[in-house]
Amino acid sequence: MTVDRSVRDARHTRAQLDSLSDSLTRVAGLQDRVELRADLPGEGWQRCSDLLTQPGRIGEWCLALSDWLREQYGEAPPRTAASYVMSWYLRVPAYAGALLLHHERRVPSLRPEELGFRISADGRPDPTGIAVLGTSFYCLPLDPAAGRPEATVVADERALAAVLRARYTAHAARFVRTYGRMSPLGNRVLWAGATDALDACLWWAGLDGGDEGAGVADAALVLESRFTPLTSASTLRMEPGADGRRLWCRRRESCCFSYLLPGQTECAECPRLGRSRT
């Protein structure tokens, strides 16, 4: 079989250009939750590894959040602040991995040294930007860049889902070890939060990109069952909404402790309300 030279050249050119940073450029415009980039542009941005090796930075983040909670609610219960920071941090590797899996069928390394984020300096101090700093990635055999030296090819989508789960869990384990020594949350709560972040972000990647069902399918693929130390399989399910239409929702594994704030009650999906609906 003879392949036209122009076709060969087009394939070669795409393989040359189709790096992980090209994936990030394409994916960035398919969501509006955060700024997504391949570098740390300067002030306000930090590597995940900086927080894990210098826990004082996480402490400063918790203090900033506590100040914000007091401004908004008059009180800042330690467990509430700790839970918010837990969830926000874990969404950084979870959302980066979920977006690239969903749209590109690629998985970056997700190592803390190769991820960064920016915390909002105005108002609520949650992450408003994510940076994927590494160049290596896992992909499928038909990926146009499968021959690049930074690409590791896996057999199929099931294997790629297993890579995402493993890379994310490795990052989460480093966070749990660091944060568990300084927060009022126990290991079970921290791993429940890690499970929530991954399940929710896989769902959001599809929802944000216009195909919610595909995001739900990704969550079922990555979290098809419980993989210890994660605390459950995907909890996404359909339930009737206020207008009678069936909508996707999920049961949380972890509590955000927002009910401890003045005037607040448990969220509808709070695990404190029991498991009768699962």
User: In this predicted structure, what is the pLDDT of residue 108?
Assistant: 98
52 lies in some domain = yes
pLDDT of 155 above 70: yes
- Number of structural domains (the chain) is 1
Q: What's the mean pLDDT in 223-248?
A: 91
Helices (H) and strands (E) in the chain, counts: 8, 9
pLDDT at 176 over 60: yes
Is 11 inside a domain boundary?
no
pLDDT of amino acid 16 = 54
Rounded to an integer, the average pLDDT of 123-140 is 97
Give the model's pLDDT for residue 161: 98
Q: Is residue 117 part of a domain?
A: yes
Min mean pLDDT across 5-14, 191-200, 211-220 is at 5-14
The values of phi and psi at residue 141, to 5°, are -60, -35
Whether 275 has a pLDDT exceeding 60, the answer reads no
- Taking 70 as the threshold, does the pLDDT of residue 10 lie above it? no
pLDDT at 247 over 60: yes
Please determine, for residue 144, whether its predicted confidence score (pLDDT) is greater than 70: yes
Residue 8 forms part of a structural domain: no
Tell me the C-alpha distance between 223 and 208, whole Å: 20
Residue 236 neighbours by CB under 8 Å, 6+ apart? 199, 203, 216, 219, 220, 248, 249, 250
Q: What does the pLDDT average to over 258-271?
A: 83
Q: Residue 253 — very low, low, confident or very high, per pLDDT cuts 50/70/90?
A: very high
Indicate whether 99 pLDDT > 70.
yes
108 located within any domain: yes
d(CA 66, CA 80): 9
Whether residue 177 lies inside any domain: the answer is: yes
Residue 137 lies in a domain: yes
Domain of 113, in residue numbers: 22-273
HSE-up of residue 245 (Cα within 13 Å, Cβ side): 3
Judged by average pLDDT, the poorest of 24-33, 102-111, 152-161, 256-265 is 256-265
Question: Among residues of the chain, what percentage have pLDDT more than 70?
Answer: 92
**What is the C-alpha separation between 212 and 200, in angstroms, rounded?**
12
Q: Give a yes or no: residue 3 inside a domain.
A: no
Give the pLDDT band (50/70/90) at residue 9: very low
The sheet carrying 127-132 orders its strands as: 35-37, 127-132, 115-119, 45-47
pLDDT at residue 14 greater than cutoff 80: no
Greater confidence (200 vs 8) lies with: 200
Query: What is the pTM assigned to this prediction?
Result: 0.91
